[in-house]
Amino acid sequence: MDKFQEHLAHYQAHVKEDLEKRVAFIREQIDGPGLGGAVVGISGGIDSAVSAALCVRALGRERVIGVWMPAYSQAIHAEDAQKLADAIGLQLVTVDLGPAFDAIVPEIEKVLPLDDKTKGNTKARLRMTTLYAIANQKGYLVVDTCNRSEIYIGYMTKGGDGLADINPVASLTKHEIRILARELGVPESILTKAPSADLWEGQTDEKEMGFSYEDLDRLLITGETDPEAKKRIDYLHRISEHKRRPMPEV
């Protein structure tokens, strides 16, 4: 067994302890200051599924709101969002962001045209605005769903899914997230689906990144990976440093 697989086997053996640690963290962040609960953006993917499931374990279903925010999203993601809600007892609400997206993009394009990536990032920022409106009204905190792998290469939208109040999964790689997801009872369709931020039709994380999550997680866990993948990973880590640091001031 190589170092990567050995690490994952060790995590699997201790996953129940890690689950309880993360549940305790959520309770400390929410109950400690006397806040009402948590709001989680639900994408139909594994990271938001794990984050929501941890929140339900920590706070109970009545204090967690999952928000599905389609903007011309693929039907499979809506189906998986509902499967998750049914599996973990999540309060799931829908806010259709299609009309808001349709309204704002033409106004911005009066200034300059937007490519698919920029339009996708605009969807992510509309989702952040929605989550904070609900959290503001309820006196809740917004829960981030970005994992360690994504954070390392800046694979999140600044002012979008990269903006929240607490993050219970920030130290977990994508492979560790999958192990924890099984422990939490996340539906199989979510576990096996190709990771996607649902920013445009056919978009997948690995296609956009240019390497696999195994390439990335091997580097984070063992310090070694495919040399070509490492060049790309190092480049993305370097140019995304501004996403991980507080805003520079003078």
Which residues are designated catalytic? Answer: 47, 150
Ligand-binding site membership of 237 (annotated): no
Beta bridge partners of 16: none
Ligand-binding site membership of 61 (annotated): no
* Residue recorded with tokens 């706070």: 59
CA–CA separation, 239 and 242 (whole Å): 7
Ligand-binding site membership of 243 (annotated): yes
Ligand-binding site membership of 183 (annotated): no
Provide the edge-to-edge strand list for the sheet that holds 141-143: 91-94, 64-68, 38-42, 141-143
**What single letter denotes the amino acid at residue 107?**
E
Maximum distance among all Cα pairs of the chain, rounded to whole angstroms? 57
CA–CA separation, 90 and 53 (whole Å): 8
Ligand-binding site membership of 158 (annotated): yes
CA–CA separation, 200 and 179 (whole Å): 28
Ligand-binding site membership of 45 (annotated): yes
Beta bridge partners of 166: 143
Ligand-binding site membership of 138 (annotated): no
Ligand-binding site membership of 122 (annotated): no
Beta bridge partners of 66: 40, 92
Phi and psi of 46, rounded to 5°?
A: -75, -35
Neighbours of 139 (CB within 10 A): 10
Q: What is the DSSP string of 231-248?
A: HHHHHHHHHTHHHHSPPP
Ligand-binding site membership of 47 (annotated): yes
Ligand-binding site membership of 145 (annotated): yes
Ligand-binding site membership of 43 (annotated): yes
Ligand-binding site membership of 193 (annotated): no
- Return binding residues for Mg(2+): 47, 150
- Residue ranges at the known binding site for deamido-NAD(+): 125, 158, 165, 242-243
Q: Which residues are annotated as a binding site?
A: 41-48, 125, 145, 150, 158, 165, 174, 196, 242-243
Annotated binding site for ATP: 41-48, 145, 174, 196
